[in-house]
Amino acid sequence: MSKRNLLNQVSAAPVAKVERRLREIRITGLCAADGSGTMADQCQAALEQGRMLLEAEQLTMSDVTRVAYLITDADEFSACVPVFRRMFPQMLPALTFTWAGSGTLSVPHAVIELAFYVERPEAFL
């Protein structure tokens, strides 16, 4: 996927939501805007979208403590591992995987959807 297409996927995704809770920030609905591309392409777009939303909260990818993945095809998921390593170069957060049937994610034709969880530092309380 070209950088221009990736930016379109990231900026146009309408379903992401930031929830601020007492002890955590939850960012849900991270997925490619139109569900196009491979699972790795969609994963990259979702992670970039999450990174931008974290920055708006003055957080970074290293603040993410858990990532929940909804995937429609477990066989394709291995192509996402290098993408995760690039986005989380220091240490991967805890991972939760859920297999979802085709057509059950927030965006039609999407094959992967993510949620980020950040435990809020005591300074935020």
What is the predicted pLDDT for the residue at 12?
A: 45
Report the residue count for the chain.
125
- The pLDDT assigned to 59 comes to 92
| 26, β-bridge pairs | 19, 117
pLDDT in tens, 52-101: 999 999 999 999 999 999 998 888 999 999 999 999 998 889 999 898 87
- d(CA 11, CA 32) in angstroms, rounded, equals 9
Predicted confidence (pLDDT) at residue 120 exceeds the cutoff of 50: yes
Q: For 2-34, write each residue's pLDDT tens digit.
A: 444 444 444 445 679 999 988 899 999 999 888
Domain regions of the chain by residue span? 3-124
pTM of structure: 0.83
Rounded Cα–Cα distance for residues 70 and 104 (Å): 9
pLDDT computed for residue 122 by the predictor: 64
Amino acid identity at 31: C
CATH number of the 3-124 domain: 3.30.1330.40
